[in-house]
Amino acid sequence: MLQEAYRHAKAIGAWGDGVAALTEAGVASDAPGIVLGGTPESVFAQVNDLLAGHRVWERFTAG
């Protein structure tokens, strides 16, 4: 599920054990649209802002 969300340029947020799940899934934690944080509130606020754009097109370069 995480890899699919990543490939579809969706915003992804994680904290705590979720960060390890991203790593296990092979999702680059420093990619655009990936939000990591210490608390659900901080992650949710940032992901919520990204969701306004529907997708994180900056994650993939053209060509």
Locate 42 and state its tokens: 């901080």
Q: pLDDT tens track of the chain, all 63 residues?
A: 999 999 999 999 999 999 999 999 999 999 999 999 989 999 999 999 999 999 999 998 776
The per-residue pLDDT for 63 is 67
Name the residue ranges covered by the structural domains of the chain. 2-59
Cβ neighbours around 6 below 10 Å, total: 20
**CA dist 36 → 14, 22, 50 (Å):** 5, 10, 13
Question: Structure pTM?
Answer: 0.88
